[in-house]
Amino acid sequence: MKTATQLKFEGLEQAAKHHSIELALAQHIAKLIGTLGKPVSADDVREAFLVREGRKLEIGNAMGSLFAKKDWDFAGFVRSKRVNSHARTLRTWTLKSKEAYKPPIDKFDVQPTVGTENGVRFCTYCGEETMRCTCERAS
């Protein structure tokens, strides 16, 4: 017989698995907002997702996994600003680490150091025309 807590975590995993890509993006956005040092709610993440992606964040019950990682501390409660939520109480969270969030480097999403525009090669970081830039960010 499974306990209620075990069933809860199984449900969160199942919901998160179905929306894993959008959930990961929403968690990334939440961490970026959290680095500002202010408490973050699910509504804040939904608004930022709409601005960044140009569409609504619709991941259903997977929203329960948004702050499930141990990177967050409970900060308090706020009323939801969304009309569909009817001013429901939402938890707010603060990021434990106050240093700037750096997303993990994806080996398939590495930006090249040198770009080409109109046949001219340039550094994508400092903009200097070069074959191989020596600026700090390019190294």
Residues 64, 31: one domain? yes
Q: Is 100 inside a domain boundary?
A: no
Higher pLDDT, 122 or 94: 94
Residues 85, 109: one domain? no
Cα distance between residue 49 and residue 43, in whole Å: 10
Residues 114, 68: one domain? no
Q: How many structural domains comprise the chain?
A: 2
Residues 80, 31: one domain? yes
* pLDDT digit string, tens, across residues 42-88: 999 999 999 988 999 888 877 888 898 888 999 999 999 888 878 89
Name the residue range of residue 12's domain. 4-95
State pTM to two decimals: 0.61
Long-range CB contact pairs, 54-60, < 8 A, 24+: 57/22, 57/26, 58/22, 59/15, 59/19, 59/22, 59/23, 59/26, 60/15, 60/19
